[in-house]
């Protein structure tokens, strides 16, 4: 099995604070699954909120069969539960969107330096003594597409700039694949989607302790175990469905 490098991007959708908490749950689920598989997992950028949530979360996984295992995670995820912040016991519906992209190689996407607006700022993430003292984090704006990428996991400007370029190339390659798919008549939506309540691939229903994947019509139980990183039953179900 090949050693894949995969970009994972999660964004909180409809549902306010609870959507950000759910995005955080998904981020930790994928990180624990990566640990379970023995993959390298690097967080490149995140926008944390209160109660361990994230408005956005971008990471890279590297390991055997990474893209094959995670490609079916792309799309809108919906959760139905009573939030910690809910006083009256009402069940809320919130969403988060997930994008899974293979890391593009340098030959796949050529970048013109004149199209890039590169800036540096102080990292807010882990990094020991370096954090908040030196502007090592990198933000790149790709002017033709408007795409913005950030990397602040590395300990130097050079390392973060290099990683931000890889993130940008991977996003541009994914956009190109989506455009080609549309031109072939495949009306597949952009993975990250609009993250509204209607656009969903999977529902996590806590009152019934049930996860439903709407594409293969299969149900899974023990939500807490799945969110703790046990994605194996879902990965196996998709392999079986693909035949």
pLDDT at 181: 66
Report the pLDDT value the prediction gives residue 125, as an integer from 0 to 100.
54
Answer yes or no: are the C-beta atoms of 109 and 101 closer than 8 Å: no
Assign 130 to helix, strand or coil.
helix
R_g of the chain, CA atoms, integer Å: 18
Which pLDDT score, from 0 to 100, does residue 124 have? 66
Tokens of 155: 């300990």
The strand order across the sheet containing 137-142 reads 116-121, 137-142, 147-151
* Mean pLDDT, the chain cut into blocks of 10 residues (243 residues total): 83 93 97 95 91 93 91 95 85 94 82 92 58 77 94 88 91 83 56 51 96 95 97 95 84
Asked if residue 129 and residue 34 are part of one domain, the reply reads no
CATH of residue 52's domain is: 3.30.70.1660
Which pLDDT score, from 0 to 100, does residue 182 have?
Answer: 66
* E-only strand ranges, the chain: 3-12, 40-48, 54-64, 75-81, 92-102, 116-121, 137-142, 147-151, 202-205, 210-213, 218-221
Q: Which domain holds residue 170?
A: 113-183
Give yes or no: residues 93 and 145 share one domain: no
- Answer yes or no: is 108 within a domain: no
């Amino acid at each position: 099995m090949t050693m894949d490098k995969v970009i994972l991007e999660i964004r909180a959708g409809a549902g306010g604070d609870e959507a950000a908490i759910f995005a955080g749950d998904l981020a930790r689920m994928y990180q624990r699954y990566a640990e379970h598989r023995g993959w390298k997992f690097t967080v490149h950028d995140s926008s944390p909120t209160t109660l361990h949530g994230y408005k956005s979360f971008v990471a890279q996984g590297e390991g055997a069969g990474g893209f094959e295992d995670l490609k079916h995670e792309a799309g809108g995820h919906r959760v139905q539960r009573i939030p910690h912040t809910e006083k009256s016991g009402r069940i809320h519906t919130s969403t988060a969107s997930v994008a899974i992209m293979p890391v593009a190689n340098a030959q796949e996407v050529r970048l013109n330096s004149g199209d890039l607006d590169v800036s540096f700022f102080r990292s807010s993430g882990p990094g020991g003594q370096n954090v908040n003292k030196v502007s090592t984090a990198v933000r790149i704006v790709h002017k033709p597409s408007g795409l913005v990428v950030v990397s602040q996991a590395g300990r130097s400007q050079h390392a973060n700039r290099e990683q931000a370029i890889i993130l940008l190339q991977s996003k541009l390659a994914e956009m190109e694949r989506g455009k080609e798919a549309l031109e072939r008549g495949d009306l597949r939506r952009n993975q990250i989607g609009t993250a509204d309540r209607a656009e969903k691939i999977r529902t996590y229903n806590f009152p019934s302790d049930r996860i439903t994947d709407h594409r293969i019509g299969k149900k899974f139980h023990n939500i807490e175990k799945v969110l703790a990183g046990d994605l194996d039953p879902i990965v196996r179900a998709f392999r079986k469905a693909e035949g």
